[in-house]
A and B are shown apart, each in its own frame.
Chain A
């Protein structure tokens, strides 16, 4: 096959979306040229139009969106001129799509193998038997455990990373010329992400498939893509081969994607502990212990980061501290006093002094309340402020989080992701707490917004002396803002110590695995890691 064949040409593509009674430009004239077997990385923050553009490469516009200009040519076929039936014929046979959330994309009532081969069989590319044999071959290629039998399982019987690989197998089963990967590893843990990335890269290389890889993580795309296109507000910011882009980003915006990795925090002096978790066990229901003899000390006025993959008990630790999940045994000692285990036994001032900020700012704010209501309620509830005094304090808090009065009467749906998280921070601050638990507060945000939030949190700590417990799986964030680090694995604390100590060898085995799985801004990182782990 001639690798210089151009497979996909998109010229000056324009797409409009309908919202709030008007048409808005979502994609404002983007060009893409993709050769056979080439992988293009599309990168940008949320709302940049990455997914819309990815779907456009399939000749598809979401409901509420329409093509308003440009041309999309796939292997000589003008996709915009095709009827729906013709497009459907192309999808699932020559163009395939891998979505972000595999769990939401599988039908829970059917076995994996039947879903893997469904499109291939219905398009008449292969018959049932040979398609199944082929699926097993793909499972093997994707390094799934027990490739012969894993297809007989149901979606809930495999892990998230495995499901994502099965979905890739589903996309590959018709040997398409083009695959669109839409943030396929965003929902996965770093340790799982590495396996999925390796498997995906190997299989598209093996079958010489062209791919468009959509993500907001530059380090991930650097491992996968031959060239990278940076999108912002529906326009191309920068366009370059991966190595050139990594070593010499031209635009200021592209450079800002490295932002979080550039924050540094200097070591803090030793102080007394504001919170001590001693010998805490906890479980949901009566069955499995989610926390097993957890001991953590939190120094006053500093930031302690709890890291680990999902299911390691990070969030459960937070729930135990707040009293949402009373521990079975063990004590939570706050300012020298043992806190009552259950939420309902705690006093108002105990509740006031520990506040929480959530990962998803969207669901942490009532969509029917305005910003004024959201920040005003703790002021009224804890401090008894009403009317003008309350409004004045809300305004002060808005300024503290770098927003202004124009936000007072907005609803959460009228805020950007970063602004939402800022309002959540203001709500926590309104209670004038001593300790704030931040549960993955930046993981749903784009790099540049993350940087803003982290800087804000650091500034607030300096000004107000608040202690943070920072739960995260993102090691770059930990490096940026933590003083102390706790590594958790399967409900146990693997180690706790100063950041410098934890991030320098020798590591316990799990810490080593976790740290080495964090993608680095080096196109060769994944290859080297594979070699290292194999050797």
Chain B
């Protein structure tokens, strides 16, 4: 450490002691962080990567199309139908692969939309702290008071269950949670002097939201994104299981569980048949667990909690 003096011994502000972090490129930083990741996080990232890979290349990986009907219904596991066929004679293995694309795609789109709505309204409420905050917050309270799955079922039966409606309805319902979180963490930042300084400068609402506040609340929001994705994913699966989610012939894990659920009772005769409905259920569970592992690690990284040395 150097002392704040110039060569001729005078005081110099530029030479005051400070700790400057080494500048690293994004890739270097990423690698440094990844090296310290625990095995659970590695496992989670690997699983997520695999799922994304499958979702992206579904048409190349799947032996058949998701809607292609073969003459033999409930075919057993074989070389042609790896996991057999379902009640209509569609290849379960192909539908499982396409299901990754459909379910994950819709869940990601829904989560993004939920964050766009909830995040921007939450920020606006936190900055304005006036009637707008009151109106939005009380409206969100009302929405949250209604059990969301039942509310979603109701809305879907009113508006019809298209993929678009599904995305919009779940996004709005989940945006309430995002709104609450964003508002709460933004309130801590809004009181900072630099936000006041920006207001004094005459900056507009959007600039304050995007440049002053958003960068400072990203860590909790990113973590929430992961968790929210899991909930959305589960909600979609649940709705599909109930028959109001993603509609056939589009393949989806939730509806696959429902369609093949009856096969479980044949476990004593053919174990593989009983496994057929379990596999999409396991796929849902595995992804949820994987995302949670990664979110846990990320939260630990950004929380500032340090392992004691």
A451–B12 Cα distance when bound, in Å, is 12
Interface flag for A2 (CB, 8 Å): no
Interface flag for A249 (CB, 8 Å): no
Chain B nearest CB from A393 CB (Å) reads 16
Interface flag for A63 (CB, 8 Å): yes
B14 touching A403, Cβ below 8 Å: yes
Number of residues in B with C-beta < 8 Å to the partner?
Answer: 31
Interface flag for B31 (CB, 8 Å): no
A431–B197 Cα distance when bound, in Å, is 12
Interface flag for A246 (CB, 8 Å): no
CB within 8 A of B3: which of A233, A364, A406?
A233
Interface flag for A356 (CB, 8 Å): yes
CB within 8 A of A356: which of B16, B200, B309?
B200
CB within 8 A of B1: which of A18, A233, A449, A452?
A233
Contact size class for A?
35 or more
Stretch at the interface among A122-130, A206-214, A408-416: A408-416
Interface flags, A384-413, vs B, CB<8A=1, else 0: 000000000000000001111011011100
A348–B200 Cα distance when bound, in Å, is 10
Asked whether A418 and B13 contact (CB < 8 A) given A366-B212, A381-B202, the answer is: yes
Interface flag for A171 (CB, 8 Å): no
B14 touching A404, Cβ below 8 Å: yes
A381–B202 Cα distance when bound, in Å, is 9
Stretch at the interface among B18-26, B41-49, B101-109: B18-26
Stretch at the interface among B147-155, B188-196, B263-271, B272-280: B188-196
Chain B nearest CB from A453 CB (Å) reads 8
A427 / chain B contacts, CB cutoff of 8 Å: 197
A366 touching B202, Cβ below 8 Å: no
- In the complex formed, the residue of B with least CB distance to A66 is B309
User: Residue among B23, B202, B216, B308 with the most chain A CB within 10 A?
Assistant: B202
Interface flag for B300 (CB, 8 Å): no
Asked whether A324 and B196 contact (CB < 8 A) given A402-B14, A449-B16, the answer is: yes
User: Residue among B1, B11, B22, B197 with the most chain A CB within 10 A?
Assistant: B197
A66–B3 Cα distance when bound, in Å, is 24
Interface flag for B199 (CB, 8 Å): yes
Asked whether A452 and B194 contact (CB < 8 A) given A356-B200, A367-B216, A416-B18, the answer is: no
B215 touching A448, Cβ below 8 Å: no
Interface flag for B201 (CB, 8 Å): yes
Interface flag for A457 (CB, 8 Å): no
A47 touching B201, Cβ below 8 Å: no
Interface flag for B203 (CB, 8 Å): yes
B11 touching A414, Cβ below 8 Å: no
Interface flag for A378 (CB, 8 Å): yes
Interface flags, B182-226, vs A, CB<8A=1, else 0: 000000000011101101111100000001100110000000000
Interface flag for A99 (CB, 8 Å): no
- In the complex formed, the residue of B with least CB distance to A364 is B193
Interface flag for A360 (CB, 8 Å): yes
B309 touching A365, Cβ below 8 Å: no
A19–B20 Cα distance when bound, in Å, is 11
B16 touching A419, Cβ below 8 Å: yes
B194 / chain A contacts, CB cutoff of 8 Å: 363-366
Interface flag for B35 (CB, 8 Å): no
Interface flag for A368 (CB, 8 Å): yes
Asked whether A402 and B12 contact (CB < 8 A) given A63-B306, A358-B193, A368-B216, the answer is: yes
Interface flags, A235-248, vs B, CB<8A=1, else 0: 00000000000000
A368–B201 Cα distance when bound, in Å, is 18
A410 / chain B contacts, CB cutoff of 8 Å: 20
A63 touching B308, Cβ below 8 Å: yes
A367–B18 Cα distance when bound, in Å, is 15
Interface flag for B145 (CB, 8 Å): no
Interface flags, B150-177, vs A, CB<8A=1, else 0: 0000000000000000000000000000
A351 touching B215, Cβ below 8 Å: no
- In the complex formed, the residue of B with least CB distance to A233 is B1
A317–B153 Cα distance when bound, in Å, is 56
Interface flag for A343 (CB, 8 Å): yes
A473 / chain B contacts, CB cutoff of 8 Å: none
A419 touching B201, Cβ below 8 Å: no
A64 touching B216, Cβ below 8 Å: no
Interface flag for B17 (CB, 8 Å): yes
B18 touching A415, Cβ below 8 Å: yes
B201 touching A363, Cβ below 8 Å: no
A463 / chain B contacts, CB cutoff of 8 Å: none
B201 touching A378, Cβ below 8 Å: yes
CB within 8 A of A377: which of B13, B23, B201?
B201
A20 / chain B contacts, CB cutoff of 8 Å: 19, 21-22
B212 / chain A contacts, CB cutoff of 8 Å: 366
CB within 8 A of B13: which of A322, A402, A406?
A402
A343 touching B193, Cβ below 8 Å: no
A209–B212 Cα distance when bound, in Å, is 50
A503–B11 Cα distance when bound, in Å, is 31
A368–B195 Cα distance when bound, in Å, is 13
A343 touching B199, Cβ below 8 Å: yes
B19 touching A381, Cβ below 8 Å: no
B202 touching A348, Cβ below 8 Å: yes
B200 / chain A contacts, CB cutoff of 8 Å: 322-324, 343, 351, 355-356
- In the complex formed, the residue of B with least CB distance to A367 is B216
A324–B197 Cα distance when bound, in Å, is 10
CB within 8 A of A414: which of B20, B192, B193?
B20
CB within 8 A of A366: which of B13, B19, B216?
B216
Interface flags, A85-107, vs B, CB<8A=1, else 0: 00000000000000000000000
Interface flag for A422 (CB, 8 Å): yes
B13 / chain A contacts, CB cutoff of 8 Å: 401-403, 418-419, 422, 449, 452, 456
A414–B17 Cα distance when bound, in Å, is 10
Interface flags, A295-321, vs B, CB<8A=1, else 0: 000000000000000000000000000
B197 touching A364, Cβ below 8 Å: yes
A406 / chain B contacts, CB cutoff of 8 Å: 14
A431 / chain B contacts, CB cutoff of 8 Å: 201
User: Residue among B18, B192, B308 with the most chain A CB within 10 A?
Assistant: B18
B202 / chain A contacts, CB cutoff of 8 Å: 346, 348, 351, 381
A363 touching B306, Cβ below 8 Å: no
Provide a sorted-by-A list of 10 A–B residue pairs whose CB atoms are within 8 angstroms: A20-B22, A323-B200, A351-B201, A351-B202, A377-B201, A403-B14, A410-B20, A414-B21, A416-B16, A431-B201
Per CB-CB distance, the 3 closest pairs between chain A and chain B, nearest first, are: A368-B215, A364-B193, A416-B16
